[in-house]
Structures are given as structure tokens and as C-alpha cells.
Amino acid sequence: MAKKETTTKAESLKDTGVKQRPTAKPAAKTPAKSNAKKSTAKQAVDTPDLSIDQRMKNLYHLQLILSEVDKIKTLRGELPFEVQDLEDEVAMLHTRIENFQTNVKELETAIGQQKMKITDSNKMVERFQAQIDEVRNNREFDNLTKEIEFQGLEVELAEKKIREYSEKLHNLTEEIARCKDGYDERQIDLKAKKAELNEIVSETKIQEEQLRKQAKDLETTIEPRLLAAFKRIRKSARNGLGVVYIQRDACGGCFNKIPPQRQLDIKLRKKTIVCEHCGRIIIDPALAEDITGKTAE
Ligand SMILES: [Zn+2]
């Protein structure tokens, strides 16, 4: 008899030890309590048995964490593209400046060549002038005069080309100056954006890891089917919200009105209720308040 008694005591002690788990959680409320106690022993290993209240709270908590992760991603999502755009622009300007500088060199060479032509022609003219003084007949005189005239035209042509090239050179120099200004500006922008991106990445890296760990832990407390549904809704929802609460008699996700009876059902917290319009899971604002500590309005 005595032996039997001790075993029962031990068993009941063990029992209370297990039972303490759900009651230890702050959210387990009276209506779901007895239900939770009954199945604890069976389900404690894989899916902790939680009241619908706690499950919804966990789901909403998960939503808040994932929304934070979304925010980090958005924050980072813009910057890499901006940095890439600036890098492309800087590279483009660099190439353009290099090409222009090649053109400048070509023009300078061409101008030099024309100047040499002028010098040569002038030398020839000088020589012909000297020969004119010693001509013996009209034919020689005419030939020399024609040569001098021809060289004069050559000089004029070269001068015209020099003027053209110089104008091009002038425009090109202005263009290069503009490109260099743009290049310097973009370089400054790029440096700033890069620094910003690096800062965000290093700043949010730890935060993101922590959030992902929290999310993973919370996910184990949510019924797989509900979790899958939640993830599916979240994916198709533009704002990434899979769980929302009643806001001014409407769905907090799509803002369509919720009929009073449905609102009552949601507040009763007996089952999972989704929005008729957008399919988001709707919870009692009081549950959201418990998680955020803020008044859900
Ligand atoms: Zn909705």
C-alpha cells in the first residue's frame, strides 16, 4: 500500500512539472487553459501545445519581426542599385574623357602638321622670290609667279584647316572640362553612397541575424499549416503583412469593413479567421497590444 502511494506522488509531481510549461507563459488565458493541460503530455515534444491566443500572439510577433527584416531589405535594396548606377556613370565619364583626350592629341598633331606645311610653303616662296630676281625670260618668270601663287593658296588652305581644328579643339576642351566636373561630382556621390551602404550593411547585419533567429524560434511554436498559410499570404501581400488586426472596424491589411458578427468571432479567439477580401489572418487588437505594448487603433 505504502509503495503504491509513493509512485503516485512521484507521478503527480512529474505531471505538475510538465504542466507548468504552458501556465508559465504569460498569455495562457482561462478558457483555453484546461484544453492546453490535457494535451500537453502528448504534444510537448514536437509542437508545444499553446492556446489559440498564444498561437495568434506568436504569429503576430513573427509578423512584426519579419516586417523588420523586410524594412532592412528595402533599406539595403535601394542602395546597391544606386551605387551600381553611379559606378557605371563614373566609368562612362572616364572613358568619354579618355576618348576626348585622344581626339585632342590628334587635333594637336594635325595643327602641327599644317603649321609645318605653312613653314615649308613660306620657305619655297622665299626661294622663288630670290629666283625671280635672276630670271632670264618671261616663261621662267610666269612659272615662278605661278609657283608663288600656288604656295600662297597652300598657306591659305593650311590656315583655314588650323582655324577649323582650333575651333574643334576649343569645343573639345570645354566638353572635357564639363565631363571632368560631372566626373568629380559623381565620384563624391559614389563615395558617400558607398559609405552609406557599408554602414547599413554592417549595422543591420547583426540585427538581421538576430531577427532571423527570433523568427526561426517563433516558427517552431506555430502550427505548420497555419505557418504555411501565413507565409503564402505574406508573399502575395504587397506590404508583406500576413497577420493584421481589426482597425476601425476594418481589416488592417486591405481596409475593407468587417461585419460586426465577424468582428465578434475574431474577438472570441476560438478559431483562425481570415479577411473575406484579402485573405489576411485577422486578430483581436488586444492581442496585438499585448505584443507591441502599444495601443492598437
Ligand atoms: Zn483584408
Claim to verify: residue 84 and residue 197 sit in the same structural domain: yes
Residue 148 within a domain: yes
* Residue ending a domain, choose from 152, 175, 208: 208
Compute the distance from residue 242 Cα to the ligand 1 centre, in Å.
10
What pLDDT, on the 0 to 100 scale, is given for residue 264? 95
Number of separate domains in the chain: 2
Give residue 297's pLDDT band: very low, low, confident or very high (50, 70, 90).
low
Compute the distance from residue 238 Cα to the ligand 1 centre, in Å.
12
Compute the distance from residue 279 Cα to the ligand 1 centre, in Å.
6
Compute the distance from residue 26 Cα to the ligand 1 centre, in Å.
29
Distance CA 5, CA 10 (A): 9
What pLDDT, on the 0 to 100 scale, is given for residue 49? 61
Taking the alpha carbons at both ends of the chain, their separation in whole angstroms is 62
Residue 150 within a domain: yes
pLDDT in tens, 220-270: 988 899 999 999 999 988 889 999 999 999 999 999 999 999 999 999 998
Distance CA 63, CA 50 (A): 18
Mean pLDDT across 117-141: 93
**Model confidence at 295: pLDDT above 60:** yes
pLDDT in tens, 67-112: 999 888 887 777 888 999 999 999 999 999 999 999 999 999 999 9
**Model confidence at 9: pLDDT above 60:** no
Compute the distance from residue 64 Cα to the ligand 1 centre, in Å.
17
Mean pLDDT across the chain: 84
Alpha-carbon torsion (170, 174, 179, 181), positive or negative: positive
Compute the distance from residue 32 Cα to the ligand 1 centre, in Å.
27
Claim to verify: residue 170 and residue 112 sit in the same structural domain: yes
Compute the distance from residue 280 Cα to the ligand 1 centre, in Å.
6
Mean pLDDT across 188-193: 95
Host H or E run for residue 113: helix 52-132
131: amino acid identity, one letter: Q
Claim to verify: residue 118 and residue 236 sit in the same structural domain: no
Claim to verify: residue 97 and residue 201 sit in the same structural domain: yes
Instruction: Report which of 53, 74, 76 is spatially closest to residue 271, judged by C-alpha positions.
Output: 53
**Model confidence at 29: pLDDT above 60:** no
Mean pLDDT across 42-64: 73
Distance CA 7, CA 27 (A): 33
Claim to verify: residue 167 and residue 239 sit in the same structural domain: no
4: amino acid identity, one letter: K
CA distances from 282 to 73, 224, 278 (A): 25, 18, 10
Compute the distance from residue 276 Cα to the ligand 1 centre, in Å.
7
Compute the distance from residue 262 Cα to the ligand 1 centre, in Å.
13
* Residue ending a domain, choose from 184, 208, 232: 208
Distance CA 22, CA 53 (A): 12
Host H or E run for residue 130: helix 52-132
For residue 123, what are the domain limits? 75-208
Instruction: Report which of 257, 171, 211 is spatially closest to residue 66, judged by C-alpha positions.
Output: 211
**Model confidence at 39: pLDDT above 80:** no
